[in-house]
Amino acid sequence: MLQTVFKVTWRLLFLVVLFAGGVSPMAAVAKDAVSQETIDVGGYRLNSVYLRASRPELPPVVFVHGASANLFDPMLSFRDKLEGRADLLFVDRPGYGRSERGGAANASPDGQADAIAALMDKRGIRKAVIVGHSFGGAVVAAFALRHPDKVVGLVFLSPAVYPWPGGIAWYYRAASAPVTGWLFSTFVAPPAGLVAIDSAVAGVFAPNVAPKDYVEKTHARMAIRPASFHNNSVDIANLKDWTRRTSPRYPEIAKPTIIITGDTDSVVSPTIHAKQLSEAIRGARLISIHNMGHKSDYVASDVAVAAIETLGGKKRDLSAIARRVEARIAGDHEK
């Protein structure tokens, strides 16, 4: 028994040292088959993947990932469906993936929107369809308010953009604390996260099913590195106050907008967030999909692509595509 305890303890200590040193277990494959590039955007560097189309038929598209994620998350879902048809920019938000955090402003959707705008300038992208999932939706809203000249249209996927009742999970509170948060993020989050990551992914997708090898293909374990976990926790801890300050300004958004949400999303309330947002932005279209949870970027990726095409001037029957998704997931239920 003692021998087993010692083995487990040493393994956990090894993982803590591994993550504390900034090394990811998937470091050998982190670049995948794409060329990642970190670019200075004003004293710190953002990492991104820019896939250019030789003869694009759609405007450029910028993808903003959600909480506890990185650029590989939207890239796994959307690359195959859109590569070659538009210039695609997948970004690690400040402090996530391989991007540096930058200054204190980047603990807010405002600062992160400014960082992405600066990256677009460096990449030579004048205007784009801006797509964001979950927390990324808050960054998209900030982007639309702060950089409307760079926006062709907006796609919000299960956005988190309004104040909500209650608080945040205890581990986000613990990890976002000014001093002890770093200790929690270094010594508690990595080993606990490795144990819980599969169940966490299942919960975010529920009642729908996550793609096979989702954790590996999206390099999801990067989110439990100490710095990433701490930054993510700070962002989530700050989000509610940001939504209180910013949500009254959403009626100022004057760009074509499509919002996609699931009616069984237990992570971000579709009534509090997506529905209110659709009412605040004049002319916004809300697509609600029955029996879909929080991961609309995967479960309803066909609808999201059709939304991008619509904003790019193509004629697409979004309602019909949404109904096909509903038929496909009608039998999904939490295991």
Domain of 319 in residue numbering reads as 31-164+243-329
pLDDT at residue number 31: 44
Kindly tell me the burial class for residue 301, based on how many C-beta atoms sit within 10 Å of its own C-beta (0-12, 13-18, 19 or more).
Answer: buried
Q: Which residues pair with 48 in a beta bridge?
A: 37, 91
Which tens digit of pLDDT belongs to each residue from 27-44? 433 445 679 999 999 999
Nearest-10 crossing angle of helices 189-205, 180-187: 80
Which tens digit of pLDDT belongs to each residue from 208-247? 999 999 999 999 999 999 999 999 999 999 999 999 999 9
Our count of domains for the chain comes to 1
Q: How many CA atoms lie within 13 A of 230 on its CB side?
A: 21
Token digits of residue 236: 């989530």
Residue 158 lies in a domain: yes
**Whole-number mean pLDDT of the chain?**
92
Let me know: does 35 contact 71? Beta carbons within 8 Å.
Answer: no
Which tens digit of pLDDT belongs to each residue from 111-153? 999 999 999 999 999 999 999 999 999 999 999 999 999 999 9
Residue 216 lies in a domain: no
Token digits of residue 289: 């999909």
% of residues, the chain, pLDDT over 90: 88
pLDDT at residue number 115: 98
Residue 271 lies in a domain: yes
pLDDT at residue number 333: 87
For the four alpha carbons of 206, 211, 216 and 218, in that order, the dihedral sign comes to negative
Residue 119 lies in a domain: yes
Which tens digit of pLDDT belongs to each residue from 244-272? 999 999 999 999 999 999 999 999 999 99
Residue 334 lies in a domain: no
Residue 123 lies in a domain: yes
The residues near 186 (Cβ < 8 Å, ≥ 6 apart) are: 16, 19, 20, 226
Check: pTM over 0.75? Answer yes or no: yes
Residue 147 lies in a domain: yes
Domain containing residue 302: CATH number: 3.40.50.1820
Residue 278 lies in a domain: yes
Does the pLDDT at position 2 exceed 90? no
Q: Which of 126, 109, 141 is nearest to 255 (CA)?
A: 141
Alpha-carbon distance of 63 to 53, in angstroms, equals 16
